[in-house]
Amino acid sequence: MALITLRSVTKTYPAARKGNLAVNALEDISLEIEPGEIFGIIGYSGAGKSTLVRLINGLETCTSGDITVDGRSVSGVPERKLKTLRQDIGMIFQQFNLFSSKTVRNNIAYPLRVAGRSRAQIAERTNELLEFTGLADKADSYPEQLSGGQKQRVGIARALAASPKILLADEATSALDPETTHEVLALLRRVNQELGITIVVITHEMEVIRDLATRVAVMDRGRIVEQGEVFDVFSNPRQDSSRRFVSTVVRGVPSAAELQALRSRHEGRLVTLSFRDGSASQAAVFLELAAAGVDFELVYGGINDVAGRAFGHLTLALKGGDSAIDTALAAAGHGLKVTELG
């Protein structure tokens, strides 16, 4: 059974003033997040990601539809019943949201104090988490003495303190530089693999989805426009907004402007070969082209590794007789998509 289920969820914010329109922040959202997975939700600003998070942890109620977390309904549940739900969900944020007047140790201990744990229990769990997140030597430091990456590690330790089943990461690496992002993502992978915690990653950065998530939902203006395995969405995005996100990290078919630049530099036919899983088909193309006496040059594109699987888009400039080129491309065939660039 899915750990988090949303069925036909909508959220409408009433008009702020007379004459304004109501805002449909979420429309007909359905998704299932399985226990133990890392599920990514990607969308531009205003797509509805934060609203979705607030609905999942019960901070707001949906206008219609149904949300369950670990088999319990979240929608329309009284506040006192949400307490147990929230213990199952840890959260981390872009701006870390640490208590500046508390040490690292006391930030991590805070949820345990609120939950009324004994001093011994608090000390034991806090020490465990300081070790797990590599912060033991910073236990008595204050947040202002830490780097961004260290602050987010404190955020993660604090979110894990009450042993949640789910970690919601809301733009958790958006304020960090690429190197630090890498470290924090590595820690999140350990949280998932070693502690078995299900992670929901909300982000506008496709790199984060590529490096962390197993499945992804792409949101656009309050709707999920596409969802699936990360490899499938990266290697074959079906919607415009997914394509835009993928193009931020993958060199695919050249854009119109790029094509113009390529045309000015290269003679002959320009063709993009797209392939997934393995390199047999591209090797076959190169052999067929060489055998047909076609001169070819790789002018754009690359090979990507996502979720341990390869795919790529390689644009070639081909010089030779048209029929020789067509025959060679057709012969190489299997598992390969050929796009002729006009």
Q: Binding pattern to ligand ATP, positions 235-264, x when CB under 6 A?
A: ------------------------------
- 276 beta partners: 311
Nearer to ligand ATP, 15 or 136 (CB): 15
Q: Binding pattern to ligand ATP, positions 27-56, x when CB under 6 A?
A: ----------------x-xxxxxxx-----
Site for ligand ATP in 276-335 (CB under 6 A): none
Nearer to ligand ATP, 51 or 282 (CB): 51
Q: Measured from the CB of residue 45, what is the shortest distance to ligand ATP in angstroms? A: 3
The token pair at 129 is 């988490």
Q: Which residues contact 32 (CB under 8 A, 6 or more apart)?
A: 2, 4, 5, 6
- Binding ligand ATP (rule: CB under 6 A), the pick from 23, 123, 187, 331 is 23
Q: Measured from the CB of residue 205, what is the shortest distance to ligand ATP in angstroms? A: 11
Nearer to ligand ATP, 42 or 285 (CB): 42
Nearer to ligand ATP, 48 or 155 (CB): 48
Q: According to the binding rule CB under 6 A, does residue 95 interact with ligand ATP?
A: no
Nearer to ligand ATP, 94 or 141 (CB): 94
How many other C-beta atoms lie within 10 A of the C-beta of residue 297? 12
Nearer to ligand ATP, 135 or 168 (CB): 168
Would you give the distance in Å from CA 153 to the centre of its chain? 19
Interior CA angle at 4 toward 65 and 233, to 5°?
A: 95
- Rounded CA-CA distance 34/267 in Å is 51
Nearer to ligand ATP, 213 or 273 (CB): 213
Nearer to ligand ATP, 52 or 292 (CB): 52
Sheet holding 309-319, edge to edge: 295-306, 309-319, 269-276, 336-341
Q: Measured from the CB of residue 204, what is the shortest distance to ligand ATP in angstroms? A: 6
Q: Measured from the CB of residue 113, what is the shortest distance to ligand ATP in angstroms? A: 30
Q: Measured from the CB of residue 106, what is the shortest distance to ligand ATP in angstroms? A: 29
Q: Measured from the CB of residue 48, what is the shortest distance to ligand ATP in angstroms? A: 4
Which residues sit at the interface with ligand ATP, rule CB under 6 A?
Answer: 13, 23, 25, 43, 45-51
